[in-house]
Amino acid sequence: MKITNVRTICLKYNYKKPIMDALSTIDSRQCVIVLIDTDEKITGIGEAAYFGGPTISTKTIIEKELKPELIGEDPFKVEKIWKKLFSTSYYHGRRGLVLTCIGAIDVALWDIIGKYCHLPVYKLCGGYRDKILAYASGGYYQEGKNIQELVKEVQGYIEKGFKAIKMKVGRNKNLPLSPLEVITHNQGTISLEEDLERVRAVRKAIGKDIYLMVDANNSWTPSIAIQMGREFEKLGIYWLEEPVQTDDIRGSKRIAEALDLQIAGYESEQGLFGYRELIVRQAVDIVQPDPTWVGGFSEAKKIAHLAQAYGMLCIPHSYNSAVSVKINSHFIASISNSQMIELDRNFNPLRDELLLDPIEIDPEGYLHLSEKPGFGVELNENTLKKYAVED
């Protein structure tokens, strides 16, 4: 089998009212879908994680730089192709958008292999579980959203069957070293005490038997994270996510040592080499490599296995379109040291309308793996047309 073409599709949905985490104001949902065609009439589908900047940057790297390296290659030779792409882009790649693009291609190759073998990828690559506990990822900030609305939101997740919920914390601009002080699109900020009130109100509303996690999106210093972490421990928080900046490995280690609370991170780290430092230096308790972001399904598996050797859980970030949720479900189902899948609950038609067979959870809060070949992704052509953008 030979690769004959590589294509990208950029999609965008604009929010009428932005949502916010500790660091970002999110005014749209965007994604870049990658399609790899072969001479066997099998097309592999992947996704490159989108987190800011114009999607044409991603499209250009994939179509202008990586595609010429792929034409004529055998898609089964995943390790060889990965090394070829990584090595040829080395001097301006290694991390960042280039590695994300390599990862999108790696993912699409695994989709081709699964389709060729008539097997779902998770069974090809480990087959540890057929269903995964889903956690509702929400509790964002929004202009005018008060604690009562936040509580109503999380109660809605419980009614739908979720047994685990994650909410945002950390949008506290008036703290030392806050990244918000220089971000020009910055709107809204609250105090640490108000953040604690939000978490206390959610815990009270959902009871103590539901997993509750908090995500600070890289916004705190180690000492603030430790002070907040001590309060979170009293509330039975299951993990504190990305308390400090991704590169502050010493700071994260200090937090992990100071608290019994699990530290999860860092979705914004990439590659096996990047995660090696977090793992070996024990700066986290839970690693969160998203295959569409860290450099592919292959790279995410290697990270999960290294984490396993250190007794760590691997519970990946999963936020983008329905394609990335599918990819993450196969990743989690293929490894033994995982536990849950992140299901973003913010309104997103690129998640809910993108597949012919939309992602759903059962009444107990589990997502079931598809037995369709590859990642089981069947795109809805009408949705692609409706949200397609050039850049």
Residues 205-264 that bind Mg ion (CB under 5 A): 215, 241
Distance CA 78, CA 138 (A): 35
Distance CA 162, CA 212 (A): 11
Shortest Å distance, C-beta 266 to Mg ion: 9
Decide if residue 111 touches Mg ion (CB under 5 A).
no
77 Cβ contact list (under 8 Å, min separation 6): none
Number of residues that bind Mg ion (CB under 5 A): 3
Provide the CA 153 distance to its chain's centre, in angstroms: 21
Pair type for strands 366-368 and 131-137: antiparallel
Phi and psi torsions of 164, nearest 5°: -150, 140
Shortest Å distance, C-beta 188 to Mg ion: 18
What end-to-end distance do the CA atoms of the chain give, in Å? Answer: 31
| Residue nearer to Mg ion on the CB measure, 82 or 331 | 331
DSSP 361: B
Shortest Å distance, C-beta 317 to Mg ion: 6
167 Cβ contact list (under 8 Å, min separation 6): 138, 139, 140, 150, 154, 198, 199, 202, 212, 213, 214, 215
| Residue nearer to Mg ion on the CB measure, 153 or 267 | 267
| Residue nearer to Mg ion on the CB measure, 106 or 241 | 241
Shortest Å distance, C-beta 291 to Mg ion: 15
Distance CA 119, CA 141 (A): 41
| Residue nearer to Mg ion on the CB measure, 215 or 269 | 215
| Residue nearer to Mg ion on the CB measure, 241 or 248 | 241
162 Cβ contact list (under 8 Å, min separation 6): 134, 135, 136, 210, 361, 365
Shortest Å distance, C-beta 25 to Mg ion: 16
Longest CA span, the chain: 60
Residue with nearest beta carbon to Mg ion: 215
| Residue nearer to Mg ion on the CB measure, 111 or 215 | 215
State how far the alpha carbon of 32 is from the alpha carbons of 60, 100, 162, in Å.
11, 11, 29
Q: Count of CB atoms within 10 A of residue 17's CB? A: 9
Q: Quick one: tokens of 216?
A: 């600070």
Distance CA 45, CA 38 (A): 12
Decide if residue 285 touches Mg ion (CB under 5 A).
no
| Residue nearer to Mg ion on the CB measure, 338 or 383 | 338
| Residue nearer to Mg ion on the CB measure, 248 or 267 | 267
| Residue nearer to Mg ion on the CB measure, 50 or 110 | 50
Shortest Å distance, C-beta 319 to Mg ion: 7
Distance CA 161, CA 390 (A): 38
Shortest Å distance, C-beta 220 to Mg ion: 14
User: What single letter denotes the amino acid at residue 140?
Assistant: Y
| Residue nearer to Mg ion on the CB measure, 267 or 299 | 267
Shortest Å distance, C-beta 133 to Mg ion: 18
Distance CA 264, CA 280 (A): 14
Using a 10 angstrom Cβ sphere, with 0-12 exposed, 13-18 middle and 19 or more buried, the burial of residue 223 is middle
Shortest Å distance, C-beta 329 to Mg ion: 18
| 31, containing H or E segment | strand 25-38
What is the SS3 assignment for 26?
Answer: strand
Shortest Å distance, C-beta 293 to Mg ion: 11
Residue ranges in contact with Mg ion by CB under 5 A: 215, 241, 267
